[in-house]
Structure 1
Amino acid sequence: MTDAEAATVLIRTENSLGRITLNRPRAINALNQDMIARITEALHAWTCDADIDTVLIDGEGERGFCAGGDVRALYDHIVGGNPGGIAEFFRAEYAMNALIAEYPKPIVVFADGITMGGGIGLAGHAAVRIVTERSRLAMPETRIGFTPDVGGTWLLGRAPGRLGEYFGLTGQSMTGADAVQLGFADHYVPSDRLDALREALAWRADPPTPSGIVLLFDETPETSPLLAARSWIDEAFSADTVGEVVSRLQGSQEPDAAAALAVMQELAPTGLAVTLDAVREARRMHSVREALEGEYRRIMWFGTQPDMVEGIRAQLIDKDRNPHWNPATIADLPEDAGAGAREFVPVVPLFE
């Protein structure tokens, strides 16, 4: 195995371009703590490097940019009674997300292929966010019993109408075309043109900006069908509670509403309630950093609850796909079920 094959993150410079490539293709480049540290170190180093004008983040392999974070490690911390390990991981990851959002130089991200969870945290807050015909973006955290994070609530809260609630609660994926029109991406570039775009970014001459260069490769995607579905989505997902969302979906005649209902009825009721509350809180916020603080409170609260461990167990450890949620049904949710997570005070603050 070569050094390049062994490295989980490849960091190098190409003329005025600083390039970061996630290099765990067999795991669809899922982020672990070492990768987060390497990415953060490179970004800090290039902040004051006069030779670097632009940063590019991409992923190795054909399957996707980044499938998310290392939730198996999170599971081990929780079942091992190590809340400090949970805090350490998320503080490092969220600091990296905030750094990307606030970076003084343009960061370009190729969200080609699967881009979910932690991958959204890398791609969603960059200055220039590129998707392709292969892109599949999602915040699927409710599928394993908890809630969107890595600044995902900030993006969900700013999607048109109530599409943020829809994607946050159901964990459904969006295409590249969806992502551009829902505010998760800026440009749609065919995947076979990414290499040429990468070379253009590395060899660019002033005054063109990265955004200006990308426009030479950009294509207009087809209109997302989700925009045409706004009427039933907005009607159902504008409800005040998860229970009322379910009631409105039950009363809808739309086949896709029935599909959304079927998904939600399989998910952790508490995770749904916390997610609905989180997206709406983030909609009132003023920065990615503020949204990350709200997510950190919720994630640390989930570390004290049974559902996140149970969801990871059922999906990734035992793989029996038979989680036992507490409470078991949406009808059993207490009033204001998201309040405990919203108001939780972590022992270790996120940003000090």
Structure 2
Amino acid sequence: MTADVTIRAHGRVGHITLTRPRAINALTLEMCEAISAALLEWRTDPAVEAVIVDHGEGRGFCAGGDVRTAVEHGPDATRRFFHAEYRMNHLMFGYPKPIAVFMDGITMGGGVGVALPCRYRIATENTVFAMPEATIGLFPDVGAGWYLSRLPDRVGQFMALTTARLDGAECLDLGLASHYLPSNALSGVKAAIASQPHYIDQLLRTSDVVAPPARIERNRPHIARLFASDRLEDILAALEEDGSEWAEKELRTIGAKSPTSCKVALRLLAHGAEQRDFTDEMRLEYAIAAHMAASHDFIEGVRALLIEKDNAPVWKPARPEDVSDAMIDAMFAPLPKAEEWTPFEGLGDHGYM
């Protein structure tokens, strides 16, 4: 057990609360292991009919994984963290009991990996949803190759390259959230679920409110057209040729990201769209993460954004055209059998998407 996550059973539910507010509940190895242990125990406990996942005080559900700590302890520590995190993600994806996650506030990176496997994904007016990994020289992981590749109109590719932040209404519009509730209703809904988990569908449906118009709707045609290619250079050229204020803003945004990360992301989403097994997706993402854990761009990105915070990473290579297909092939190379990611034994592979 860790002080950074509170785990208890009450009523007819298991309740997991992230309690690391000073780090916006960034996940540690110990937090991932504690969550997995609870879920494994509750999986066969007849007294637990559903699971609630939320956060305590603070402005965010979960800002991601604590990669800073992992990087400071070296590539082996980073691998151990990813292995445990991906096991937790996979366990939640095929979980036999309904999980309701409350994405009230910042939900990014590793927080997305906790939220999206859940059957019920509740957004609010406070939700800020993003996959910002390319900013630190990583790639959209925790199953993002599966989830983002299935979004309409190339929105997944847009999110991966620009690290765009979505609000709760946009999450609902895209299917990333299953429900939209006002934040002041959450405590009552959680209490109702705890006492009547078999009515969770009805409880959430009757608590739903009409979300504001999704702002991303006006840009979806532009995203579908300008992000249509799986080749980074083509996307950058399309944005430059378009010349609109919106396109120029996104061009500048992508230009600040790691070119290697962007190319890895595009290839991952192309692979993910064809995956039919979430276990295979997580195995692939772990292999990429293991390779990138020791890469220059990941170490440099974490230094610049999370450790020294000078916000001036020096990417190598610095230009997309200098990132060769062979470099990306190396990131996708399978690991030796003894080093591969493995799920918990006996888990299903049935999710909502």
> What amino acid maps onto 1:189 in structure 2?
L
CA deviation map 1:89-111 (0-9, x unaligned): 11111010000001110011001
**1:44 is aligned to 2:44:** no
Note the C-alpha offset of 1:175. Answer: 0.5
> What amino acid maps onto 1:284 in structure 2?
E
- Alignment match, 1:59: 55
| Within-5 A mapping of 1:177-326 | 177-204=169-196, 206=198, 208=199, 210-326=200-316
In 1, Cα distance between equivalents of 2:131 and 2:70: 17
In 2, Cα distance between equivalents of 1:117 and 1:205: 29
Note the C-alpha offset of 1:37. Answer: 1.1
**1:176 is aligned to 2:176:** no
**1:33 is aligned to 2:23:** no
Note the C-alpha offset of 1:337. Answer: 4.8
| Within-5 A mapping of 1:145-156 | 145-156=137-148
Residues 131 and 164 of structure 2 are in contact (CA less than 8 Å); yes or no, is this contact kept in structure 1?
yes
Residues 146 and 278 of structure 2 are in contact (CA less than 8 Å); yes or no, is this contact kept in structure 1?
yes
Question: Higher mean Cα deviation, 133-142 or 282-291?
Answer: 282-291
- TM-score by structure 1 length? 0.93
- TM-score by structure 2 length? 0.93
- Alignment match, 2:351: none
Residues 22 and 59 of structure 1 are in contact (CA less than 8 Å); yes or no, is this contact kept in structure 2?
yes
In 1, Cα distance between equivalents of 2:222 and 2:290: 34
Q: Root-mean-square deviation (CA), in Å?
A: 1.7
Residues 87 and 348 of structure 1 are in contact (CA less than 8 Å); yes or no, is this contact kept in structure 2?
no
- Alignment match, 2:10: 14
Aligned residues between the structures: 342
> SS of the counterpart of 1:129?
strand
Residues 13 and 197 of structure 2 are in contact (CA less than 8 Å); yes or no, is this contact kept in structure 1?
no
- Alignment match, 1:348: 339
**Superposed structure 1 runs of 4+ greater than 6 Å apart:** none
- Alignment match, 2:113: 121
Q: 1:100 aligns with which of 72, 86, 92?
A: 92
Note the C-alpha offset of 1:333. Answer: 2.4
**Percent of aligned pairs sharing the same letter:** 36
> SS of the counterpart of 1:251?
helix
Note the C-alpha offset of 1:169. Answer: 0.9
Note the C-alpha offset of 1:318. Answer: 1.2
Structure 1 residues 212, 254: closer, same or farther in 2, change over 3 A?
A: farther
Note the C-alpha offset of 1:335. Answer: 3.9
